[in-house]
């Protein structure tokens, strides 16, 4: 048994299709997708002006079906889908299986401010994740998921100091940070699991400030290419209580405040001559302390519901931007899943559907002009099971971020998520 | 089996969606200008107009004004309180008539007269309602170009002091009668006629003729202070015409034209006299007359070689500014109000880099852009784009305080006109504008 575990862990480094048959083949296909589409990760926020600060707008951690549950999942087990929200949950994937997930998303965002409105849309790969069930007491997961994204274009009228002439400047930001994580769940007691995710957060952010030629100057570009990296650890606990046919779970997650190292390459191009400059405004930013609590109830996987509360210690984080203040963030979410025929599936696609509903409210960390940029959203989703444990999931979210008060920008967005989770049994005789 | 197909279909979908996503993204990009969020942007670049660097103007006189090869003959004398007296004399060579091949003089041909024909070029400077006197003299030495193959305004050649022609006239540069004839002494006329009759070897080539007859100088009488008038100095329009007739024929007039030869050797000798003016201290190009000594005014004039020098004594302070660059530097100068009329104000000026002793050290000058306030003369100005000069100066982080700029007329106007500009530094318009981009 022990030997097999060691071999299995190697397939992530050196997959050998002949030895692992279907598992390896599907894994290779997925790996291919990943290598092709890694560049499409990020940009979860399309054209949000709020993504100009720091390392961009942070995306919440939820992936997969958690999206359709309003981002709820601290107290959910992983099941047919991987639950990244609590690293203690990976043991929930079907015994002896290798689960792989690939997510896509599309967004249509309408930004408004008083009398102005603009819209933009985008579709891209959102994440990849895999989990492997080793033994009764150990499962692990790894994947790449977005951490933050920067995507804005702002045209601004700028005046020449000392003269009544103006010219147009364009500010653009793109890129964002990704998180490659490696998570482990351990069963400590029969009803207690603990886990951790070790993540490397990295990515490039490009911000440019350009002006087209006018009477008094030729066009120029000031470009900052910021690369950020951080090693981040977060921890989770899940405590399970079985009572009658119900499973009650309490989950707890914690992540310590961690510095994000950034390095900037600042370049100024004027008259086709590019000079490298020293970046004087070096960003000193941290991932704040995170504390999360979740509770859930589950009746034989037919019905489950959960509630999450997460707190982020943002008030200590200074973006060194005079326009942006921070405060501690709060996230509340609820999610409900109903799978009427999960335990006696037939080939009828319609009757085997899984229905999900969720809602969330976020007290954001961003405060502009003494006004918090809060957001709220509702989500609906369905899951279509196929093969034994595999599933295709769709979810739709409508959300609103920011406010029209005080001349601020409000984003109304429709997000569409699609993910496919594939399961292969690699242990023929699960223990 | 069905599920396997489904899986393949989904995989295909996964492949296409991002491509599709890129596509719709591309469509969105160009259509709109995104303005939301302008107020939260922390711009790192900042374009500032700095016009507080002082501009010191002074008047400089060029040692050499090239006046040869301009095809312009300037003759006359002009005087006013501002720039004193200016007199222009003009030198040129005469060649043999072209028509010698067609006519053979016969023994009974009769000499009638000899005249110098001049054609107005419609340029004049000064008061043309006043009388002028021109005397024509024969040169006693040949016109020779200097080592640089040109002749300058301060050049002169020896001539016979006894005039061979003299005219006292009212210039009419703009009348329909566009030619001026000056009667030349018959002794000269008969001399030329006998050469023709003898079929002299002297008339076999221009060179031989010039050895015999080195050329003419037209001298303006300085006593007649009125105007300086321009004539065309081309072989067609400037010539001695020898009038003869053949008595056997009824219509026997035969004229021989001894045209101006080689316009490179035609030049104007322009003499100025600043004695009664503020410009008196200016004697050589090394001299610099700051406008502080001339009531804040600086002077520029064609022919006399008056140019304006601009120095920027505090320009070193540019090096003290924060990180940035000069995107544009513009020098503006403004003429003294009521010192000009719209016709006599030069259309374009040029700026050159200059060293400590006022030598021009760049080959190509930068032209100005003139804006003319025809009605009130308040906002008339010339602007020069001196960005390159400033950028070059800044590029080695050292600004040579002894370098400056010279403002001149265009080369044509400098060598063949008396266009004048009086710059008033006390006017707001005279300044250095530097657009500095901080980043």
Q: Give the per-residue pLDDT at A12.
A: 36
Least confident among A72-81, A241-250, A278-287, B221-230: A278-287
In this complex, the residue of B35, B49, B50 whose CB is nearest that of residue A155 is B35
- At CB < 8 Å, which residues of chain B contact A? 3, 6-7, 10-11, 14-15, 17-18, 20-21, 24-25, 28, 32-51, 323, 325, 327-328, 435, 437, 439
Give percent of chain A with pLDDT exceeding 90: 39
Q: Which residues in chain A have their CB less than 8 angstroms from residue B42's CB?
A: 321-323
The gap from C-alpha A421 to its chain's centroid, in whole angstroms, comes to 17
Q: Which residue has the higher pLDDT, A61 or B206?
A: B206
DSSP H stretches of helix in B298-409: 387-395
Provide mean pLDDT across the span B12-22: 47
Q: Does A108 touch chain B (CB under 8 A)?
A: no
How confident is the model over B46-58, as pLDDT tens digits?
899 998 899 999 9
Is the model's pLDDT at B260 over the cut of 60? yes
Residue of B nearest to A276 (CA): B439
Is the model's pLDDT at A14 over the cut of 50? no
Residues A120, A153: contact at Cβ < 8 Å? no
* Cβ within 8 Å, pair A52-B34: no
Q: Give the per-residue pLDDT at B62.
A: 94
Q: Does A277 touch chain B (CB under 8 A)?
A: yes
Interface test mutation site (partner A, options B25, B36, B326, max chain A beta carbons within 10 A): B36
* Residue in the block written with tokens 């301009």: B70
* Dist. CA B409–CA B291, nearest whole Å: 19
Question: What structural domains does chain A harbor?
Answer: 2-425 (2.40.160.60)
Mean of the per-residue pLDDT values for chain B? Answer: 87
Which among B188, B155, B183 has a CA at the least distance from the CA of B89? B155
Is the model's pLDDT at A367 over the cut of 80? yes
Q: Give the per-residue pLDDT at B406.
A: 95
The set of residues, in sequence order, having a beta carbon less than 8 Å from that of A182 and lying 6+ positions away, is A140, A141, A142, A197, A198, A199
Give percent of chain A with pLDDT exceeding 70: 87
* Cβ within 8 Å, pair B21-A156: no
* Dist. CA B324–CA B328, nearest whole Å: 12
Provide mean pLDDT across the span B187-213: 92
Instruction: State the smallest CA–CA distance between residue B393 and chain A in angstroms.
Output: 17
How confident is the model over B90-146, as pLDDT tens digits?
999 999 998 766 566 777 788 999 999 999 999 999 999 999 999 999 999 999 999
* Cβ within 8 Å, pair A153-B323: no
Q: How many CB atoms lie within 10 A of CB A337?
A: 26
Q: Give the per-residue pLDDT at A124.
A: 72
Mean of the per-residue pLDDT values for chain A? Answer: 83
Residue of B nearest to A164 (CA): B49
Instruction: State the smallest CA–CA distance between residue A135 and chain B in angstroms.
Output: 28
Provide mean pLDDT across the span B80-95: 94
HEC string for chain A: CHHHHHHHHHCCCCCCHHHHCHHHHHHHHHHHHHHHHHHHCCCCCCCCHHHHCCCCEECCCCCCHHHHCCCCCCCCCCCCCCCCCCHHHHHHCCCCEEEEEEEEEEEEEEEEECCEEEEEEEEEEEEEEEEEEEECCEEEEEEEEECEEEEEEEEEEEECECCCCEEEEEEEEEECCEEEEEEEEEEEECCEEEEEEEEEEEEEEEEEEEECCECCECCEEEEEEEEEEEEEEEEEEEEEEEECCEEEEEEEEEECCEEEEEEEEEEEEECCEEEEECCCCCCCEEECCEEEEEEEEEECCCEEEEEEEEEECHHHCCCCCCCCEECCEEEEEEEEEECCCCCCCCCCCCCCCEEEEEEEEEECCEEECCEECCEEEEEEEEEEEECCCEEEEEEEEEEEEECCHHHCCEEEEEEEEEEEEEEEECCCCCC
Least confident among A202-206, B190-194, B342-346: B342-346
Q: Give the per-residue pLDDT at A29.
A: 58
Residues A404, A1: contact at Cβ < 8 Å? no
Which among B351, B424, B354 has a CA at the least distance from the CA of B384? B351
Task: For residue A327, count CB atoms less than 10 angstroms from its CB and return exposed for 0-12, middle for 13-18, buried for 19 or more.
Answer: middle
Q: Give the per-residue pLDDT at A3.
A: 34
Residues B141, B156: contact at Cβ < 8 Å? no
* Dist. CA B18–CA A177, nearest whole Å: 19
Give me the torsion for CA of B316, B321, B327, B331, rounded to 10°: -40
Is the model's pLDDT at A17 over the cut of 60? no
Task: Specify which residues B438 forms β-bridges with.
Answer: B46, B324
With bands split at pLDDT 50, 70 and 90, how would you rate the model's confidence at B13? very low
Q: Give the per-residue pLDDT at A13.
A: 33
Task: Specify which residues A217 forms β-bridges with.
Answer: A214
CATH number for domain B48-63+284-438, candidates 2.40.10, 1.20.1070, 3.40.50, 2.60.120: 2.60.120
Is the model's pLDDT at B147 over the cut of 90? yes
Provide mean pLDDT across the span A170-194: 92
Is the model's pLDDT at A402 over the cut of 70? yes
Does the predicted model carry a pTM greater than 0.90? no
Q: Which residues in chain A have their CB less than 8 angstroms from residue B44's CB?
A: 209, 222, 281
Provide mean pLDDT across the span B70-86: 93
Is the model's pLDDT at A18 over the cut of 50? no
Q: Which residues in chain A have their CB less than 8 angstroms from residue B30's CB?
A: none
* Dist. CA B283–CA B305, nearest whole Å: 11
Q: Which residue has the higher pLDDT, A96 or B96?
A: B96
Q: Give the per-residue pLDDT at B50.
A: 92
Q: Which residue has the higher pLDDT, A319 or A397?
A: A397
Residue ranges per domain, chain B? 48-63+284-438, 72-272
Largest CA distance in chain B: 129
With bands split at pLDDT 50, 70 and 90, how would you rate the model's confidence at A40? very low
């Amino acid at each position: 048994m022990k030997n097999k575990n060691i071999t299995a862990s190697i397939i992530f480094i050196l997959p050998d299709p002949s030895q692992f048959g279907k598992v390896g083949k599907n894994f290779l296909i997925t790996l291919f997708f990943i290598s092709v589409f890694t560049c499409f990760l990020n940009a979860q926020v399309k054209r949000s002006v709020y993504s100009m600060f720091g390392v961009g707008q942070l995306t919440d951690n939820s992936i997969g079906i958690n999206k359709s549950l309003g981002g709820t999942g601290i107290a959910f087990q992983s099941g047919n889908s991987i639950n990244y929200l609590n690293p203690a949950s990976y043991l929930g994937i079907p015994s002896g299986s290798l689960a792989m997930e690939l997510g896509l998303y599309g967004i249509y965002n309408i930004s408004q401010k008083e009398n102005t409105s603009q819209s933009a849309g985008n579709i891209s790969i959102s994440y990849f994740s895999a989990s492997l069930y080793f033994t009764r007491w150990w499962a692990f997961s790894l994947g790449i998921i977005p951490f933050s994204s920067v995507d804005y274009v702002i045209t601004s009228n700028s005046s020449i100091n000392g003269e009544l002439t103006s010219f147009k400047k364009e500010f653009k930001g793109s890129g964002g940070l990704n998180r490659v994580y490696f998570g482990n769940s351990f069963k400590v007691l029969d009803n207690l699991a603990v886990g951790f995710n070790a993540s490397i957060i990295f990515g490039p952010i490009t911000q440019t400030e350009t002006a087209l030629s006018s009477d008094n100057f030729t066009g120029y570009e000031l470009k900052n290419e910021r690369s950020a990296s951080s090693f981040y650890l977060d921890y989770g606990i899940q405590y399970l209580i079985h009572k009658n046919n119900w499973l009650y779970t309490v989950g707890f997650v914690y992540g310590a405040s961690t510095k994000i190292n950034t390095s900037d390459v600042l370049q100024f191009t004027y008259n086709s001559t590019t000079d490298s400059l020293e970046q004087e405004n070096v960003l000193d930013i941290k991932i704040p302390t995170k504390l999360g609590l979740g509770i859930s109830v589950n009746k034989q996987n037919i019905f489950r519901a959960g509630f999450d509360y997460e707190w982020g210690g943002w008030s200590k984080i200074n973006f060194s931007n005079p326009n942006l203040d921070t405060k501690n963030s709060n996230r509340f979410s609820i999610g409900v899943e109903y799978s009427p025929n999960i335990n006696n599936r037939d080939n009828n696609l319609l009757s085997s559907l899984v229905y999900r509903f969720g809602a969330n409210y976020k007290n954001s960390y961003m405060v502009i002009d003494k006004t918090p940029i809060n957001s709220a959203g509702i989500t609906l989703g369905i899951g279509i099971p196929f093969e034994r444990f595999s599933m295709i999931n769709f979810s739709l979210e409508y959300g609103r971020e920011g406010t029209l008060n005080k001349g601020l920008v409000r984003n109304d967005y429709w997000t569409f998520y699609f993910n496919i989770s594939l399961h292969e049994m690699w242990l023929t005789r699960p223990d | 089996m069905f599920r396997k197909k489904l899986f393949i279909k989904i995989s295909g979908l996964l492949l296409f969606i991002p491509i599709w996503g890129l596509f719709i993204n591309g469509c969105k990009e160009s259509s709109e200008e995104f303005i939301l969020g302008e107020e939260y942007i922390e711009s790192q670049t900042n374009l500032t107009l700095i016009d507080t660097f002082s501009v010191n103007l002074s008047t400089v006189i060029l040692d050499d004004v090239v006046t040869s090869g301009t095809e312009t003959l300037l003759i006359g004398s002009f005087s006013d309180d501002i720039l004193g007296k200016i007199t222009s004399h003009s030198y040129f060579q005469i060649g043999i008539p072209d028509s010698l091949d067609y006519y053979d003089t016969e023994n009974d041909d009769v000499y009638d007269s000899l005249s110098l024909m001049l054609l107005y070029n419609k340029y004049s400077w000064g008061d043309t309602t006043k009388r002028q006197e021109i005397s024509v003299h024969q040169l006693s030495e040949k016109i020779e170009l200097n080592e640089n193959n040109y002749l300058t305004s301060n050049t002169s050649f020896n001539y016979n002091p006894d005039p061979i022609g003299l005219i006292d006239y009212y210039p009419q540069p703009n009348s329909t009668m566009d030619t001026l004839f000056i009667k030349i002494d018959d002794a000269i006329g008969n001399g030329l006629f006998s050469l023709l009759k003898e079929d002299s070897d002297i008339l076999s080539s221009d060179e031989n003729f010039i050895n015999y007859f080195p050329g003419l100088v037209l001298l303006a009488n300085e006593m007649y202070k009125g105007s300086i008038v321009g004539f065309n100095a081309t072989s067609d329009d400037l010539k001695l015409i020898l009038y003869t007739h053949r008595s056997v024929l009824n219509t026997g007039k035969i004229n021989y034209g001894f045209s101006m030869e080689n316009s490179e050797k035609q030049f104007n000798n322009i003499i100025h006299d600043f004695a009664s003016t503020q410009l008196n201290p200016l004697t050589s190009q090394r001299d610099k007359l700051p406008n502080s000594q001339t009531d804040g005014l600086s002077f520029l004039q064609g022919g006399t070689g008056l140019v304006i020098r601009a120095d920027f004594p505090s320009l070193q302070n540019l090096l003290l500014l924060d990180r940035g660059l000069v995107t544009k530097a513009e020098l503006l100068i403004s003429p003294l109000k009521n010192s000009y009329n719209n016709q006599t104000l030069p259309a374009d000026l040029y700026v050159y880099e200059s060293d400590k002793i006022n030598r021009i050290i760049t080959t190509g000058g930068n032209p100005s852009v003139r804006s003319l306030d025809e009605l009130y003369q308040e906002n008339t100005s010339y602007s020069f784009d001196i960005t390159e000069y400033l950028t070059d100066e800044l590029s080695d982080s050292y600004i040579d305080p002894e370098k400056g700029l010279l403002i001149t007329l265009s080369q044509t106007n400098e060598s063949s006109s008396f266009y004048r500009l009086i710059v008033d530094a006390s006017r707001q318009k005279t300044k250095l504008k530097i657009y500095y981009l901080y980043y």
